[in-house]
Chain A
Amino acid sequence: MSSPALRLGPLSVRVRPRHLLASSAVVVTAAAVAVVSLAVGEVPLAPARVLAALTGRGTAAEALVVLELRLPRVLLALAVGAVLGMSGATTQLTAGNALASPDLLGVTAGASAGAVTVIVAADRPGASAPLLALGVVGAAVLGGLVAAALVALLLWWVALDGLQPLLVGVGVSALFSGLVSGLLVSASIDDAARATVWLTGSLNARGAQELAVVAVALPLLVVLWAMSSRLSTFALGADVARALGTSTARTVTTALVISVVAVSLATAVAGPVAFVALVAPHLARTLTASPWPPLGASAAAGALLVTGADLVARTALAPVLLPVGAVTALVGAPFLVWLLVRRRNP
Chain B
Amino acid sequence: MVARAHPAVAAAVLCAALAACAAASLLVGTRDLGAAAVLDVLRGASDDPEAVAVVAGQRLPRTVVGAVAGAALAVGGALAQAHTRNPLADPGLLGVTAGAALGVVGGATWLGLGTAGGAVWTAFAGAAAATTAVGVVAALASSRRDSGPAALVLAGAAVSALLSSVTGVLLLLDLSALDVYRFWTVGSLAGARGGEALAVVWPFVVAGLVLALAQGRALDVLALGDDTARSLGRSLTGTRVTGVVAVVLLVGAAVSCVGSLGFVGLVAPHLVRRASRGDHRSLLPLAALAGAVLVLAADVVGRLVVQPAELPVGVVLGVLGGPAFLVVVARSARRRQRRSRSARASARASARTAPAAR
Contact = CB atoms under 8 A, between A and B. Distances in A.
A329 B186 CA distance: 22
A197 B172 contact: yes
Interface string A83-121: 000000000000001111000100000000000000000
Nearest to B187: A181
Contacts of A154: 326, 330
Contacts of A189: 175, 178-179
Q: Which DSSP category, helix, strand, loop or mixed, fits chain A's interface?
A: helix
B323 interface: yes
Interface in A307-331: 322-323, 325-330
Given A99-B157, A179-B318, A334 B162 contact: yes
B333 A159 contact: yes
B186 A158 contact: no
Contacts of A322: 169, 172
Contact of A341 (B141, B314, B316, B333): B141
A158 B162 contact: no
A167 interface: yes
A185 B86 contact: no
A200 B315 contact: no
B169 A326 contact: yes
A332 B168 contact: no
Contacts of B154: 98, 282, 336, 340
Nearest to A180: B318
B114 interface: no
B321 A174 contact: yes
Contacts, number: 174
Interface string A188-220: 010011001100100000000000000000000
Contacts of B165: 274-275, 325-330, 333
A179 B137 CA distance: 35
A167 B137 contact: no
A200 B322 contact: no
Interface string A161-190: 001101110111111111101101100010
A343 B144 contact: yes
Q: Which of B87, B88, B267 has the most CB of A within 10 A?
A: B88
Contacts of B104: none
Contacts of B144: 341-344
A211 B325 CA distance: 36
Nearest to B270: A167
B139 to A, nearest CB: 9
Interface in B187-231: 187
Given A181-B312, A185-B186, A193 B322 contact: no
B35 interface: no
A189 B174 CA distance: 11
Contact of A158 (B175, B183, B321, B334): B334
B60 to A, nearest CB: 25
A171 B323 CA distance: 6
Contacts of B323: 171, 175
Place the interface of chain B in its size category.
Answer: 35 or more
B341 to A, nearest CB: 11
Interface string B252-267: 0000000000010011
A179 B158 contact: no
A257 interface: no
B265 to A, nearest CB: 12
Contacts of A158: 329-330, 333-334, 337
A157 B157 CA distance: 31
Interface in B327-350: 329-330, 333-334, 337
Contacts of A275: 157, 161, 165
B151 interface: yes
B251 to A, nearest CB: 17
Interface in B165-181: 165-166, 168-169, 171-172, 175, 178-179
A160 B141 CA distance: 34
A192 B316 CA distance: 20
A273 to B, nearest CB: 11
B242 interface: no
A337 interface: yes
B140 interface: yes
Given A171-B325, A337-B155, A344 B172 contact: no
A278 interface: yes
A274 B158 contact: no
Interface string B130-166: 0000000100110011000011011101110110111
B173 to A, nearest CB: 9
B322 to A, nearest CB: 3
B322 A174 contact: yes
A340 B270 contact: no
B151 A179 contact: no
16 contacts: A99-B89, A157-B330, A159-B333, A166-B88, A172-B322, A175-B322, A178-B322, A181-B182, A184-B186, A189-B178, A279-B157, A279-B161, A329-B165, A337-B137, A337-B158, A341-B140
* Cβ-closest 10 pairs across A and B: A178-B318, A175-B322, A174-B322, A171-B326, A329-B161, A158-B333, A329-B165, A333-B162, A178-B319, A340-B141
